[in-house]
Structure 1
């Protein structure tokens, strides 16, 4: 059996080389993540813990906040069932329950990108030679 190199990858957590099938992690890291998910999920299933924040969940389960946020972003934890559970916006830190940016930061980012794209388009058009001027030069040179 010939092994294809595109099936080999480095684990995004520990860097160990592994045979990539369905995850971005080696088997050891995958098992560890699944165990952490089980601990967090079991903690959240307890009615008294329904209103816990991500910091409290992390403290009681000893699972990193970053990992819990990954579980939320991946849709493995449905945060709508947990009113205080969320993670910080990647830009400003505001508590959010999905994506990477809060609504305000996303709108600011989008506006800035659009502004940049418009400026680049304007410069590109300003630097593009005028077709009429080129045609006039052609006829002038030809004569």
Structure 2
């Protein structure tokens, strides 16, 4: 019985590597570990740093930090000023993909649309109904 070697292309650098749990080649995995250690070291001394301050201090892109927040790799409850951005309005958020304001606006729009559709169906039923007088 022969074993197949499962390989893939690293999503970060494009090199071929043997598939693993992290889905990264060894050099990119080592770089990621180094970045996380650098970030954690800075945050241990600067608990109240913002996402932008963390980015400047560690030379990590803000989008990468926000991606780690969104994926749960960076726990924001330990650091009160770290935040991601709302996908719609770019307001700071601590969890999820959209802020409470955008969420409530979307829910209101959905409710209004459903109400309009209900009224339109009622009008169609009333317009197509036949009333018989006895």
Q: Same fold (TM over 0.5)?
A: yes
**Which residue in the other structure is 1:136 paired with?**
none
1:37–1:71: 8 Å Cα contact kept in structure 2?
no
**Which residue in the other structure is 1:77 paired with?**
74
1:41–1:77: 8 Å Cα contact kept in structure 2?
no
2:83–2:92: 8 Å Cα contact kept in structure 1?
yes
What is the TM-score when the length of structure 2 is the normalising length? 0.70
Looking at structure 2, the residues matched to 45 and 90 of structure 1 have their Cα atoms a distance apart, in angstroms, of 29
Query: Which structure is higher in helix share?
Result: 1
Unaligned runs of 5+ in 2: 118-134
- After superposition, the Cα gap between the structure-2 partners of 1:102 and 1:12, relative to the gap in structure 1 and judged at 3 Å, is farther
Looking at structure 1, the residues matched to 73 and 109 of structure 2 have their Cα atoms a distance apart, in angstroms, of 32
Alignment of 1:57-96 (within 5 A): 57-96=54-93
Aligned residues: 117
**Which residue in the other structure is 2:31 paired with?**
32
**Which residue in the other structure is 1:17 paired with?**
16
CA RMSD of aligned residues (A): 3.0
| Candidates 81, 99, 103, aligned match of 1:102 | 99
Deviation by residue 1:56-112 (Cα, 9 ceiling, x = unmatched): 001011111122122222323221122211121122111011222223334555677
- After superposition, the Cα gap between the structure-2 partners of 1:110 and 1:33, relative to the gap in structure 1 and judged at 3 Å, is farther
What is the TM-score when the length of structure 1 is the normalising length? 0.66
Deviation by residue 1:9-35 (Cα, 9 ceiling, x = unmatched): 222212222211101222111111111
1:54–1:68: 8 Å Cα contact kept in structure 2?
yes
